[in-house]
């Protein structure tokens, strides 16, 4: 038996299945991968990949560690849900 999805992943999958003509258990249902791809695209648009600043060369105006870590946390959360959907 597979592990249950997180509440966020389950909500996304439920929404995707509601717009799909196949049932959630149908072998032709690709909504899981479509939803994962949409999440990856949203992550790229909302919180695109950022190179980590060179912290040793930063002044406090050009390098905001809180902004960088918040950005990375949000991106990682979206990509984790996408990975969860793909792995299920």
Q: What is the pLDDT of residues 13-72, one digit of tens each?
A: 888 777 656 665 665 568 888 889 899 999 999 888 888 777 777 665 567 778 888 889
**pTM of the full predicted structure?**
0.69
Residue spans per domain, the chain:
7-87
What does the alpha-carbon distance between residue 1 and residue 38 come to, in Å, rounded to a whole number?
26
What does the alpha-carbon distance between residue 7 and residue 74 come to, in Å, rounded to a whole number?
16
Phi, psi of 82 (to 5 degrees): -60, -45
């Amino acid at each position: 038996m597979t592990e249950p999805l997180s509440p966020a992943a389950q909500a996304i999958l439920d929404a995707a299945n509601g717009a799909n003509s196949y049932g959630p258990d149908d072998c032709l249902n690709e909504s899981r991968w479509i939803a994962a791809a949409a999440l990856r695209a949203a992550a790229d648009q909302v919180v695109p990949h950022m190179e980590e600043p060179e912290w040793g060369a930063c002044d406090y105006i050009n390098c905001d560690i809180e902004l960088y870590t918040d950005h990375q946390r949000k991106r990682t959360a979206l990509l984790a849900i996408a990975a969860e959907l793909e792995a299920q």
